[in-house]
Amino acid sequence: MELLKALVEHRYALTASILFVTGLMNLMQQRHLVRKVIGLNIMDASIFLLLASQGYVEGRAAPVVAAGMAEQAAELYINPVPSGLVLTGIVVSVSVSAFSLALIQKIYREYGTTDIKELVHLVKRED
């Protein structure tokens, strides 16, 4: 019961870890390269969820400071640092996805397949 309560209290972090493992499994077990990239994106999303949930503070508003509220802002608004970190993460995630998809397109033009098993086969035969 204690454990269940603890898990419910940390539901966002728990969801993030489940998503992370889902993405990791997708990344490792899918044979199609595009699906691997999708797995990577699921992992990214889990990290963003974890970071964003760590920045939230019960009963406080989004960090857009209203006029004249600057003095007591620390008690009124949530933590802006994780939001900034998530922004960085999203940009890097987009860049990595674009780059890997471009690589996959290149691989497809070269070998005519994006299936990892067939690729291993073809590369071994080339050696």
Residues that bind other proteins (CB under 8 A): 3, 6-7, 9-14, 17-18, 20-21, 24-25, 28-29, 53-60, 62-67, 70-74, 76-77, 79-84, 87-88, 90-92, 94-96, 98-99, 101-103, 105-106, 109, 117, 120-121, 124-125
Q: Give the bridge partners for 10, in sequence order.
A: none
How many angstroms separate the CA atoms of 123 and 127, rounded?
A: 7
At 67, list the tokens. 């006029």
123, containing H or E segment: helix 116-126
Nearer Cβ to other proteins (53/113):
53
Neighbours of 99 (CB within 10 A): 11
What's the closest the beta carbon of residue 100 comes to other proteins, in angstroms? 10
Name the minimum Å distance from CB 56 to other proteins: 5
